[in-house]
Amino acid sequence: MTWKLGTRGSALALAQSQMVANEVQRLTGETVELVEIVTAGDRSSAPVQQLGVGVFVSALRDALISKEIDFAVHSYKDLPTAGVDGLAIAAVPQREDPRDALVARDGLTLTELPDGAVIGTGALRRIAQLAALGLPLSTVPIRGNVDTRLRKVANRELDAIVLARAGLVRLGRADEITEILDPMLMLPAPAQGALAVECRTDFVELLAPLDDRATRAAVTAERAFLATLEAGCSAPVAALAEVTEDDEIYLRGAVISTDGSYALRLSRTGTLADAEEVGRLLAADLLEDGADHVLGTTA
């Protein structure tokens, strides 16, 4: 039997999907064929925040429901927080390093960049946190695959870019990182660095061996935090959960205005079994402290 794995056609998506395919083949002995699916996000050059949440996953989910493919691999941070009837996240493999990374000209770090340096990033979360640092830098929105973004630094069109470290590692480009950004300065997007293996509900048990318990719990807490704030992946919301050896979760969350003038950061702890509740409670704490004024919602 050959299982069909749906994936976007970008180099990063293909690399991530091939990693999962190799692991499925190792664990099950089944052959896995990659099937490229073009999404609405791939066809547009508009900023992600204009395209909306789920723009990179809806076509893959349609292919799952129509049985064109058997399962799909997503960058978990691209998934809307609401699920889809008939589909399930069968596995969340072990997470790659979730931190953000700076790639700058001449090997520079963030504080070494000269006054007026221009940093490219497509994420409002990163733009907001860079602004909150108060450094004499400017940001510009960018789209495109990782190679396209790196090229903008190589040809000096930009002084630097900020990307997820996980993507650079998976593409074998980690040696181009000039600084890994401390989460105290740049808190990642919820579920950054994690993959979601999604399938129809009748396929879940076959893929369950790929699941990493600690990663799933951490991502569950982060996404519950995001869902409770009623924000999408392009909103100025950040979160990172870390799991201890004692099966406890330490969750940090932040809401930052896009101009960086307002930043609210809080944390909570709990057990793996209570991961979702930890996320909801931390979001409630932030809303109580005024996060709704940034998000434009009411508590």
Catalytic-residue membership of 78: yes
Q: What is the pLDDT of residues 206-254, one digit of tens each?
A: 999 999 999 999 999 999 999 998 754 345 899 999 999 889 999 999 9
**Which tokens belong to 93?**
């493999």
Start-end ranges of CATH 3.30.160.40 in the chain? 212-293
Q: Which of 62, 70, 78, 211 is catalytic?
A: 78
Q: What is the 3-state secondary structure of 62-88? A: HHHHCCCCCEEEEEHHHCCCCCCCCEE
Pairing of β 87-91 and β 195-200: antiparallel
Q: Average pLDDT of each block of 10 consecutive residues along the chain (299 residues)?
A: 93 96 94 88 49 70 95 94 92 97 98 97 92 94 91 97 97 97 96 97 94 97 93 70 94 91 93 96 92 59
Q: How far is the C-alpha of 168 from the C-alpha of 148, rounded, in Å? A: 13
The CATH number of the structural domain formed by 1-94+194-211 is 3.40.190.10
**What homologous superfamily does CATH list for 212-293?**
Porphobilinogen deaminase, C-terminal domain (3.30.160.40)
Start-end ranges of CATH 3.40.190.10 in the chain? 1-94+194-211, 100-180
Contacts of 14 (CB under 8 A, 6+ apart): 7, 8, 34, 36
Read off the DSSP letter of residue 54.
T
Cα 287–chain centre separation: 23
**Which tokens belong to 176?**
């181009």
The CATH number of the structural domain formed by 100-180 is 3.40.190.10
